[in-house]
Copies of this chain bind each other. A is one copy, B any other.
Amino acid sequence: MSVKIENLDWMSYRELVENGQSRILIPVGAIEQHGLHMSLNPDVLIPQHIACQVAERAGGMLVAPPIAYGYKSQVKSGGGNFFPGTTCVSSRSLEEYVYDIILAFAEHGNREFILINGHFENSMCLVEAADRVVKQARLSGKEVKVILLSYWDFISEATVDKVFPEGFSGWAVEHGGVLETSIMLKIHPELVDMSRAVDIPPAEFPPYDVFPPDPSWVPESGTLSSPSKATAEKGEWILDECIEKIATTFS
């Protein structure tokens, strides 16, 4: 039986969730440019993939349909919100949408939720949604627990060293770089065209942000570092570790 909630009929779903016995994993991503060599949806597909693998490995978990449109891309983490194709929503929209979705799942008897985030900029919206959900649910006697995680926080230094044998430029510039590209090569190679991967030094930014953003701060390709050393094998290493650790932590 599918771990994806949307593929179940409601009675099968009801059986799986009754008595709050299941954890609901909710992938949250973004539609955001990831360079010339990759599609706009890694931030959706990666957390969804991880969620499904975790659910299959750990048991007692179901995966909700992903939230595809995320919070506005920022220059220093996602290239900026001015790229064609980057299609993002306001913090209020994302917060309210996530808030409503969790409360709706809570109505079915679910009490534990794991938000699996694939887009850095979503973080604070998810924090606020989670905080409000917990308090609102409590008003009607429901003790809800929301875990919030970004998958890359489960990658160990050892794996980083293995993936970046020539040195790691830091998480800040990994947007569209080796990390995401490797994972996509592993799970959706048809959405990656390595022949268009640019070879650029890691982006460098001043220690502040400016609005409206200044496109000249960002490499033309939209990636913040070079994806050219990405391989499906590296993607597998990363995924294996994330999936294993998340599954273990929350089993």
Contacts and interface: CB of A to CB of B under 8 A. Distances in A.
Contact of A211 (B8, B89, B131): B131
Contact of A41 (B44, B65, B69, B101): B65
Contact of A17 (B9, B84, B99): B84
Nearest to A2: B39
Contact of A127 (B69, B86, B109, B209): B209
A9 B31 contact: no
A44 B125 CA distance: 23
A50 interface: no
A46 to B, nearest CB: 13
Contacts of A145: 210-212
Interface stretch (A51-59, A147-155, A157-165, A232-240): A147-155
A83 interface: yes
A58 to B, nearest CB: 14
A179 to B, nearest CB: 15
Size range of the chain A interface in the assembly: 35 or more
A108 B85 contact: yes
Number of copies: 6
Interface string A179-199: 000000000000101001000
Interface in A41-88: 41, 44, 64-69, 71-72, 74, 81-88
Interface string A126-155: 011011111100111000011111000110
Contacts of A72: 127-128, 131
Nearest to A191: B7
Interface of A: 5-11, 13-14, 17, 31, 33-41, 44, 64-69, 71-72, 74, 81-97, 99-101, 104-105, 107-109, 121, 123-125, 127-128, 130-135, 138-140, 145-149, 153-154, 191, 193, 196, 206-212, 222, 249
Given A13-B84, A31-B65, A149-B208, 7 more contacts: A6-B39, A9-B196, A69-B97, A71-B124, A90-B100, A93-B99, A131-B211
